[in-house]
Amino acid sequence: MIQGAGSNVGKSLLVAGLARAAVQRGLSVAPFKPQNMSNNAAVTVDGGEIGRAQALQARAAGRDPVTDMNPVLLKPETDTGAQVIVQGRRFATVRARDYGAMKGQLLPRVLESFGRLCDTADLVIVEGAGSPAEVNLRAGDIANMGFAEAADVPVVLAGDIDRGGVIAQLVGTHAVLPAPDRDRITAFLINKFRGDPRLFDGGLTEITRHTGWPSLGVLPWFAEAWRLPAEDILDLAAPRPGGSFKIAVPRLNRIANFDDLDPLAAEPGVTVEIVQAGSPLPGDADLVLLPGSKSTIADLAHYRAQGWDIDLTAHVRRGGHVLGVCGGYQMLGTRIEDPDGLEGEPGAVPGLGLLDVTTRLQLKKRLSLTKARDIETGETLTGYEIHLGTTTGPGTDRPWLTIDARPEGAQDPTGRVRGTYLHGMFDSDAFRRAFLARLGATTSEMSYGASVEATLDALAEHLETHLDVDALLALAH
pLDDT tens figures, 219-274 = 999 999 989 987 766 666 566 667 899 999 999 998 888 888 999 999 999 999 99
What gap in Å lies between CA 113 and CA 66, rounded to an integer?
10
Residue 239 lies in a domain: no
Examine the pLDDT at 78 and tell me if it is beyond 80: no
CATH code of the domain in which 416 resides: 3.40.50.880
The strand pairing partners of 255, in sequence order, are 293
pLDDT tens, residue by residue, 418-451 = 999 999 999 999 999 999 999 999 989 999 999 9
Q: Clarify whether residues 250 and 354 are in a common domain.
A: yes
SS3 220: strand
Distance CA 390, CA 403 (A): 15
Domain of 355 in residue numbering reads as: 245-441
How far apart CA 260 and CA 2 sit, in angstroms, is: 28
In a domain, 448, yes or no: no
What's the CA gap between 143 and 476, in Å, rounded? 19
Q: Is the pLDDT of residue 110 over 80?
A: yes
- Percent of the chain at pLDDT > 70 equals 98
Single-letter amino acid, residue 348: A
**Looking at the structure, do residues 139 and 280 belong to the same domain, yes or no?**
no
Q: In sequence order, what DSSP letters do the residues of 105-160 get, joined into one string?
A: HHHHHHHHHHHHHHTT-SEEEEB--S-TT-GGG-TT--SSHHHHHHHT--EEEEEE
Ranges 73-87, 185-199, 387-401: which has the least confidence: 73-87
- Are residues 357 and 222 located together in one domain of the fold? no
Q: Are residues 437 and 462 in the same domain?
A: no
Share of the chain above pLDDT 90, in %: 82
Cβ-contact 456, 60 below 8 angstroms: yes
What per-residue confidence (pLDDT) applies to 309?
97
Is 118 an annotated catalytic residue?
Answer: no
Of 174, 321, 387, 423, which one is the catalytic site residue?
423
Say if 405 falls within a structural domain.
yes
Q: pLDDT averaged over the chain?
A: 94
Cα 392 from Cα 409, distance rounded (Å): 10
pLDDT band at 96 (very low <50, low <70, confident <90, very high): confident
Residues 104 and 154 in one domain: yes
Furthest CA-CA distance within the chain: 70
- For residue 107, the model assigns a pLDDT of 96
Domain assignment present for residue 233? The answer is: no
- The predicted pLDDT at position 29 comes to 98
**What is the average per-residue pLDDT within 290-306?**
94
Q: Domain check: are 250 and 216 in the same one?
A: no
Lowest mean pLDDT among 91-95, 345-349, 388-392: 91-95
CA-to-CA distance for 327 and 332, rounded, in angstroms?
Answer: 9
What's the CATH number where 132 sits? 3.40.50.300
In DSSP notation, 383-447 reads EEEEEEEEEESGGGGS-SEEETTEEE-EE-TTSSEEEES-BSGGGSHHHHHHHHHHTT-------
Question: Would you say residue 290 has pLDDT above 80?
Answer: yes
With respect to residue 218, please indicate whether it lies within any of the assigned structural domains.
Answer: yes
CA separation, residue 324 to residues 120, 416, 475 (Å): 39, 11, 47
Query: 274 and 199 in one domain?
Result: no
Let me know if residue 9 belongs to a domain. yes
100 lies in the same domain as 66: yes
pLDDT at site 70: 98
Question: In terms of domains, do 335 and 424 share one?
Answer: yes
pLDDT in tens, 111-146: 999 999 999 999 999 999 999 999 999 999 999 999
Contact predicate 264/272, CB 8 Å: yes
Given 302, 315, 321, 326, the catalytic residue: 326
Q: Are 165 and 217 part of one and the same domain?
A: yes
Read off the amino acid at residue 171: V
Question: At residue 81, does pLDDT exceed 90?
Answer: no
- What is the Cα–Cα distance from 25 to 331, expressed in whole angstroms? 48
For residue 423, indicate whether it is catalytic.
Answer: yes
DSSP-based three-state secondary structure for 312: helix
Which residues sit opposite 90 in a β-bridge?
Answer: 85
Same domain for 389 and 468, yes or no, is: no
Nearest one of 267, 254, 278 to 227, comparing CA atoms: 267
Q: Are residues 151 and 54 in the same domain?
A: yes
Is residue 469, in this structure, part of any structural domain at all?
Answer: yes
Q: Give how many domains the chain has, as a whole number.
A: 2
How far apart, in whole angstroms, are the C-alpha atoms of residue 193 and residue 203? Answer: 12
Q: Is the pLDDT confidence value at 336 over 70?
A: yes
In 209-253 the beta strands, taken as DSSP E runs, fall at 215-220, 245-250
In a domain, 153, yes or no: yes
